[in-house]
Structure 1
Amino acid sequence: MAVNLRLLRQLRLAKDAMDRDWAQPLDLDAVAAHAGYSRYHFVRSFKAVYGETPGQYLSRRRIERAQEMLRTADLAVTEICTLVGFSSLGTFSTRFKQHTGLTPTEYRGRHLGRGAALIPGCYALFWAGGFRNSGEAP
């Protein structure tokens, strides 16, 4: 099947926006605008090319980031949930278990101590943008 290169370029722009802003709340219309499509055409095209909807892709990317944080950062599951872009702990836990087969706490228990020491939470939050600079407006 020949894939339209223009379509791929446009979808890649939207995918890059999701990869860049994965921790932020993302509006489907805004992401579709990166590709220059309506939300409905964008969802159909994205799924046809990448095999998953934009929402599924974004959720998977967020869960991958959460897995890394659970293995490396000394942060509460709730903090990680918020840092990776989920607004609901219940949704985060459900999606995490669907993706990994384990709850976030079970995942951390299985992978804790299998590498370097955990990064202290204050450093992880600073690195992830959880702290504002004193000069920034609230």
Structure 2
Amino acid sequence: MVSVPIARHLLRAKDLADARYGEPLGVVDMAAAAGLSRAHFSREFRRAFGESPHSYLLTRRMERAAALLRYTDHSVADICFRVGWLSVGSFTTTFTRTFGRSPTMYRAAYPPAAQHVRVPACMVRFFGRPQNSPS
């Protein structure tokens, strides 16, 4: 039987964190996906990727929250729950520690989400014609 390198198991867990960061997911779940005990998984994950599994998951959640704040009009509370946090207060504290400003201040530093809305070219052409312009 051929032995599978441990890195492949760790990548399975990392992929799980990347795909399901918005769900109640913890180190135990990631270790189970890798088929390793929690302690062994945590040691090997840190050795392979330079950070703990918990830290990696928090980073993914914070990166996704920052993107949602920049590109959507969802409320901070909605974004908090979408990225897997259960407490708005904890989310705000961690976000502020990570990005140096609160989620509301972070959002204010970027253009409104409406500026990022893309209108398909076919719609621009259709409504750009005088006979199709809304009155």
**Structure 1 length normalisation: TM-score?**
0.76
**Preserved contact between residue 71 and residue 108 of structure 1 (Cα < 8 Å):** yes
The SS at the match of 2:101 is: coil
Identity over aligned residues, as a percent? 40
Q: What is aligned with 1:39?
A: 38
Distance 2:114 2:59 in 1: 23
Q: What is aligned with 1:88?
A: 87
Deviations 1:77-106 (A, max 9, x none): 011000111001111111111211111011
Distance 1:94 1:55 in 2: 17
Unpaired runs of 5+ in structure 1? 120-138
**Structure 2 length normalisation: TM-score?**
0.78
Q: Aligned letter for 1:15?
A: K
Q: Aligned letter for 1:38?
A: S
Q: What is aligned with 1:65?
A: 64
Unpaired runs of 5+ in structure 2? 119-135
Q: Flag the 1:118–1:94 CA change in 2: closer, same or farther, 3 A.
A: farther
Q: Flag the 1:114–1:75 CA change in 2: closer, same or farther, 3 A.
A: closer
Superposed, 1:5-20 pairs within 5 Å as 6-20=5-19
Q: Aligned letter for 1:101?
A: G
The SS at the match of 2:109 is: helix
Distance 1:16 1:68 in 2: 19
Q: Flag the 1:49–1:23 CA change in 2: closer, same or farther, 3 A.
A: same
Which consecutive segments of 4 or more residues in structure 1 shift more than 4 A? none
Distance 1:36 1:22 in 2: 19
**Preserved contact between residue 73 and residue 113 of structure 2 (Cα < 8 Å):** no
Q: Aligned letter for 1:104?
A: P
Q: What is aligned with 1:101?
A: 100
Q: What is aligned with 2:73?
A: 74
Aligned-pair RMSD on alpha carbons? 2.0
**Preserved contact between residue 42 and residue 53 of structure 2 (Cα < 8 Å):** yes
Distance 1:113 1:79 in 2: 17
Deviations 1:36-59 (A, max 9, x none): 110111111111111111111111
Distance 2:117 2:42 in 1: 38
